[in-house]
C-alpha cells in the first residue's frame, strides 16, 4: 500500500523480471511458447521432478487433474477448510465433494476423518496444504495405498515446502501449484501441474489446449500446419507473458523464501508471550513450511471481542489482516445443497478464529514488530 499502511501481501517486481517480460513482449510470440517451456523446465529442475505443465490457474490445473483421473458422478474426499477453488474444481469436473474434518493445529485434512469418509463411490483424495504447511502425506499415502485411490494435492500454498524432505508432487499422483497474485511464487494468474507420471501430464497438457495434438508453437517448430483433436479439452494454457514473469520470480524464489522464514521467526519471537490469547502456527516436525501465509488462531473465549472486531482494530492501526479460510460449507451455494458444518467441528471453529497477518518478502522486520505490538496492545485492552 502506498499510504504507509502495512498490506497483507505486496509484490515488487525486480529489473530482471521486467527485462524477461520485455524480452517476451518484443519477441514476436506472446502465448504458450518458448518461455512457458523454459519455465516448466526451470520448475522441474527446482523440484527435481520430470513432468510439469504450466496452466492458466491452479483452479484450471485441479480441474484438468480431476478430469484426467475421472471423477464424474463419483466422490472426492477433501477438506472444507480451503479456498472455494478446490471444491469448485471438483464440482466443475462432475465430482461430488465429500468433506472430511481438519486437524485443528495444522488446519489440513485429518487422515482419520478421510478414512471415515471413503466409500465405494470415492474416486480420489484431494488434500490441501494450508498456508504452506503440507498435509499429513504419510497417513494419506497409507490410506491411498490401502484403498487404491489416487491423491491429487492442492499445493497452491506450498511451492518450496517439503514433507520429509520431499517436494509435494513426490507424494501424490499430481500436485497443483498456484501462481496467483497473492502466492509466494507469482505471475499474477497462473498454475502448474507437477507429477511423477508422464502419461498423466501428457493427457493434461493436451487437455489444457483444446485437446489439440499440436498447439500453434509446436506447429511452428514442426513446420507442419496439421493437427488433430482426439478428445475434448479446455482453454487453460499459460501465456509466455505470464511465464516470463514467473521465470524472473523463480530466480528470486530462494532469496524470497529465506525472507519469509525470517519474518515467520520474528513473528514467533514477538508473539510468543501472547499464548494465553492466540495460538501461533503449528509446524509438524516432518515439514519445511513455505510460509505463503502466517495464520494465527485467536482463543476467542479469552477475548471480549470477536475476530471481526480484532481485524477491524488492526485495520484502524494501519495493518491489513485476512481470513484463510471461512469453511466452504458456510457459503450459500453449499448450504442450499445440504452441506453443513455440524459434523465438521474443527473446521467450523477454525473458520471463526483464524487471522492471517501480513507476509511478503518486502515486509521489514520493524514492520513485523509494529504488527506484533498492535496485536499485543489489542489483546491487553480486550483480553480476559
Ligand X SMILES: Cc1ncc(COP(=O)(O)O)c(C=O)c1O
**Catalytic one of 2, 183, 286, 364:** 183
Q: How far is the CB of 323 from ligand X (least distance, A)?
A: 12
CB of 159 to ligand X, least distance (A): 11
The candidate with the shortest Cα–Cα distance to 274, out of 365, 357, 188, is 357
The stretches of the chain forming alpha helices (DSSP H) are 15-25, 34-47, 58-69, 84-92, 111-117, 137-147, 198-207, 216-222, 240-251, 253-271, 307-316, 332-336, 345-353, 365-382
Closer of 134 and 191 to ligand X (Cβ)? 191
- Provide DSSP, 163-179: ETTB-GGGGSSEEEEE-
C-beta of 59: minimal distance to ligand X in Å? 3
Q: Which is nearer to ligand X, 17 or 57 (CB)?
A: 57
**Which ranges of 193-291 would DSSP assign to H, the alpha helix?**
198-207, 216-222, 240-251, 253-271
Strands 174-178 and 278-279: unpaired
End-to-end Cα spacing for the chain = 33
Q: Shortest distance, CB of residue 324 to ligand X, whole angstroms?
A: 7
183 is catalytic: yes
Q: Is 223 exposed, middle or buried (0-12, 13-18, 19+ CB in 10 A)?
A: exposed
**Interacting residues with ligand X (CB under 6 A):** 57-59, 82-83, 85-86, 128, 154, 156-157, 178, 180, 191
CB nearer to ligand X: pick between 57 and 195: 57
Closest to 53 (Cα-Cα) out of 215, 238, 223, 184: 238
For helices 15-25 and 240-251, the axis angle rounded to 10 degrees is: 160
Q: Which of 355, 276, 263 has its CA nearest to residue 312?
A: 355
Least Å distance between CB 73 and ligand X? 23
- Taking the least distance from each CB to ligand X, the nearer of 63 and 346 is 63
Contact 288, 161 (CB under 8 A): yes
Q: How far is the CB of 177 from ligand X (least distance, A)?
A: 8
The residues carrying an active-site annotation are: 183
Amino acid at each position: 500500500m502506498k499510504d504507509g499502511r502495512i498490506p497483507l501481501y505486496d509484490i515488487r517486481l525486480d529489473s530482471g523480471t521486467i527485462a524477461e517480460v520485455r524480452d517476451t513482449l518484443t519477441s514476436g510470440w506472446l502465448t504458450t511458447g518458448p518461455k512457458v517451456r523454459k519455465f516448466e523446465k526451470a520448475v522441474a529442475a527446482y523440484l527435481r521432478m520430470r513432468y510439469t505443465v504450466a496452466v492458466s490457474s491452479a483452479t484450471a490445473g485441479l480441474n484438468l487433474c480431476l478430469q484426467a483421473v475421472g471423477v464424474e458422478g463419483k466422490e472426492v474426499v477433501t477438506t472444507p477448510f480451503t479456498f472455494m477453488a478446490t471444491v469448485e474444481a471438483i464440482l466443475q469436473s462432475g465430482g461430488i465433494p465429500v468433506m472430511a474434518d481438519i486437524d485443528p493445529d495444522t488446519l489440513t485434512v485429518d487422515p482419520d476423518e478421510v478414512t471415515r469418509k471413503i466409500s465405494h463411490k470415492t474416486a480420489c483424495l484431494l488434500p490441501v496444504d494450508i498456508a504452506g504447511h503440507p498435509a499429513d502425506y504419510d497417513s494419506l499415502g497409507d490410506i491411498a495405498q490401502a484403498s487404491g485411490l489416487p491423491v491429487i494435492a492442492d499445493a497452491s500454498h506450498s511451492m518450496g515446502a517439503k514433507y520429509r524432505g520431499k517436494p509435494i508432487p513426490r507424494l501424490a499422483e499430481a500436485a497443483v501449484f498456484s501462481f496467483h497474485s497473492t502466492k509466494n511464487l507469482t505471475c499474477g494468474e497462473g498454475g502448474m501441474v507437477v507429477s511423477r507420471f508422464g502419461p498423466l501430464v501428457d493427457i493434461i497438457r493436451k487437455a489444457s489446449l483444446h485437446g489439440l495434438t499440436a498447439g500453434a508453437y509446436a506447429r511452428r517448430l514442426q513446420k507442419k500446419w496439421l493437427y488433430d483433436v482426439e478428445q475434448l479439452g479446455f482453454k487453460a494454457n499459460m501465456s509466455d507473458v505470464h511465464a516470463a514473469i514467473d521465470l524472473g520470480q523463480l530466480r528470486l524464489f530462494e532469496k524470497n523464501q529465506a525472507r519469509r522464514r525470517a519474518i515467520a521467526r520474528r513473528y514467533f519471537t514477538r508473539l510468543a508471550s501472547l499464548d494465553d490469547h492466540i495460538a501461533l502456527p503449528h509446524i509438524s516436525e516432518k515439514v519445511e513450511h513455505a510460509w505463503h501465509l502466517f495464520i494465527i488462531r485467536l482463543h476467542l473465549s479469552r477475548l471480549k471481542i470477536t475476530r471481526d472486531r480484532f481485524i477491524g482494530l488492526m485495520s484502524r492501526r494501519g495493518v491489513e489482516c485476512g481470513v484463510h479460510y471461512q469453511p466452504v460449507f458456510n457459503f450459500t451455494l453449499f448450504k442450499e445443497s445440504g452441506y453443513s458444518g455440524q459434523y465438521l467441528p474443527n473446521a467450523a471453529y477454525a473458520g471463526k478464529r483464524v487471522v492471517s497477518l501480513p507476509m511478503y518478502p518486502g515486509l521489514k522486520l520493524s514492520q513485523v514488530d509494529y504488527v506484533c505490538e498492535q496485536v499485543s496492545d489489542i489483546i491487553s485492552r480486550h483480553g480476559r
